Amino acid sequence: DQVLWSGETTIKADSDFVVLDIHQLLESDEEIRKTQFFNVLSWAWNKIAEDRTQKVILAVDEAYLLVDPETPQALQFLRNTSKRIRKYEGGLMVITHNMVDFLDPAVQRYGQALIDNPAYKIIMGQGDKEIEALTKLMTLSEKEVQTLAEGKRGEALLVAGDRRIHAKFDVTPFELEMFGSGGGR
């Protein structure tokens, strides 16, 4: 891990699409994890804030992996980013399988904002535990619960402000070629 941060960064953000894979970081010692989260997240925020005229989207996939009461820095960063990124012509996408993880009392201080702040939410099929929590949080109708419980591929509850609709997403041939037909495999 010392090799990563013992000098100037070699990460280049000269592409339209930059991927930061932190999977191995999650397995690190707590102190190293905290330090490296700080470094990675600081780098990401600096790129977002670098040019307020440049539109930036920060997409965090598998975000449930960052829900850790022992290392709350990542979730705190996402919460703070969710509140500030629009001022920088940016957007934040938080992608997770388990929204209920963000409501755990140990992290709810940060996680709740990630559910409450977005102007748009796309909620796809959920398990019983998640549906129960979301019903309490969002006062879901029977039809909305049914949409989430059925979990049909490409169908979701789309929340835009105070409007909620059953949405169906179709994949274009270009997207299918780009992302694959087996969930990206």
Average the pLDDT over 127-144 and give the result: 91
Which position has the token pair 């703070």? 80
Q: What percent of the chain has pLDDT over 70?
A: 92
Q: What is the DSSP letter of 157?
A: E
pLDDT at 124: 92
Please check the confidence at residue 6 and state whether its pLDDT lies above 70.
Answer: no
Answer yes or no: is pLDDT of 184 > 60. Answer: no
Predicted pLDDT of residue 2: 56
Q: Which residues does 101 contact at the CB level (< 8 Å), separation at least 6? A: 64, 67, 107, 111
CB 101 within 8 A of CB 67: yes
Closest-CA residue to 154 (of 122, 111, 112, 127): 122
Contacts of 33 (CB under 8 A, 6+ apart): 25, 26, 71
pLDDT of residue 122: 93
pLDDT of residue 142: 94
Q: What is the three-class DSSP state of 65?
A: helix
C-alpha distances out from residue 55 to 4, 46, 131, Å: 28, 14, 34
SS3 106: coil
What local confidence, expressed as pLDDT, does residue 181 receive?
A: 67
pLDDT (0 to 100) of residue 4 = 56
pLDDT at 178 over 90: no
**pLDDT, tens digit, for every residue of 80-92?**
999 999 899 899 9
Mean pLDDT of 47-58: 90
